[in-house]
Amino acid sequence: MKLHCHRPSLIAAFQTVSGVIPSRTPKEILKNVKLHVADGKATLIGTSEQVGIRYEIPGVEIESAGETLLPTSEVNSILRELTDDGVNIEITDDAVWIRAGQSEFRLPARDPAEFPPVAAFDDQTFYTIEAKALKEAIRRTVFATDIESTRYALGGVLVELSPESITMAATDSRRLAVVKGVCRSEGVQDTEAARPVIPREAMTLIEKSIGDSDEQIAIAAHANEVLIRCANSTIFSRLVEGRFPKYQDVIPAESTSTIDLLVGPFYSIVRQAQIVTNDESRGVEFAFADGTLTLTSQSPELGQSKVEMPISYDGEPLSITFDPRFVADFLRILEPDKQIALKLVDAESAAVFCVEDAYTYVVMPLSRDR
């Protein structure tokens, strides 16, 4: 096997595929990326067995076909250090040769026969969604998943698919992020909406794989797995086991106060109030009164803070305590000039942040004794 690659394109492909390679695994073969060359295409394949990706490398000149395993760490390092735009890869019976300019590297050739298969996108019926919309929806939900817990399906993002709409939801039981958008059915006849729960790892990989073009992303949902086709990639993922909670029940139906806020200034004072908080005393009081929002926090070890900003609020004084990390996580992914609406019921009820483009974020308050 022999091929010539454009180094920047090869680096981008290899780094994307490397994102799924497990850092710790008893299966040494999973620490490799499989290079498969056939039918005029060169494809990099990586998998953790739970999540996998096939990435077609653009701009490749192929002299002969074949396949091999590439050690992820070593090849990543080689590609980063090379300076020439062109890279030649040649596979012989006992070696992998990587050459560029005056540099030459010989790596041991490894048998790809035992490498786990990663499914290709062969579905004839699927859903499509505009790339930028899906990328933004992932950014607005994936941070709210539960990294540590395996309760229910909190370690993944619920994706509700219907012929005309897509809803994505993520929660760790203390906050909830919900995004609604538009999708289209391509031949799907089942009238019951598909509701896969896709693990955080796969959602992050999908986001990184989506470019900035106006392409359509294809999603094929099955009973235990999902396939996503985007740009040069096909991503396979097993679904999270367990039942996703009824997230609609968490969102308060009504509110007593609605406060309009600008993301930039609001995010600034939240970050300031967060400075003197720690794991033991992380609560920040948000007090709304007389056209002013006042954030106060204190910690026996770190001191105290008080920051204010003017707001349009003339209702009854209302105070509610939040973990500022949860508020900051939401504000961090929004544009500074974005307008949001904060809907409150009282100090003990969930608060709802709404963005005009069908994005809802719910945060549970902390108890007063924290």
Provide mean pLDDT across the span 121-140: 95
Span 217-263, pLDDT tens digits: 999 999 899 999 998 899 999 999 888 999 999 999 899 999 999 99
DSSP annotation of 251: S
* 37-41, 52-56, 109-113 — most confident range: 52-56
The two tokens of residue 165 are 């709409």
Q: If you search the block for the tokens 């996998």, which residue do you land on?
A: 52
The pLDDT > 90 percentage for the chain reads 79
Provide mean pLDDT across the span 350-356: 95
CB 217 within 8 A of CB 129: yes
Alpha-carbon span 9 to 15, nearest angstrom: 10
Alpha-carbon span 139 to 55, nearest angstrom: 22
Domains and CATH numbers, the chain: 2-114 (3.10.150.10), 126-247 (3.10.150.10), 252-363 (3.10.150.10)
pLDDT band at 151 (very low <50, low <70, confident <90, very high): low
CB 92 within 8 A of CB 69: no
DSSP annotation of 30: G
The pLDDT > 70 percentage for the chain reads 98
Provide mean pLDDT across the span 167-189: 94
pLDDT surpasses 50 at 131:
yes
Of 21-35, 114-128, 188-202, which gets the smallest average pLDDT? 188-202
- DSSP states of 173-215: SSEEEEEEEE-EEES----SPB--EEEHHHHHHHHHH--SS-P
What is Dmax (Cα atoms) for the chain?
Answer: 79
pLDDT of amino acid 370? 46
Span 17-39, pLDDT tens digits: 999 999 888 899 999 999 999 98
Read off the pTM.
Answer: 0.91
Q: How many CA atoms lie within 13 A of 359 on its CB side?
A: 19
CB 164 within 8 A of CB 243: no
Helices then strands, counting H and E runs in the chain, come out as: 6, 26
pLDDT band at 149 (very low <50, low <70, confident <90, very high): low
Query: Rounded to 5 degrees, what are φ and ψ at 80?
Result: -65, -35
Alpha-carbon span 169 to 370, nearest angstrom: 28
Mean of the per-residue pLDDT values of the chain: 92
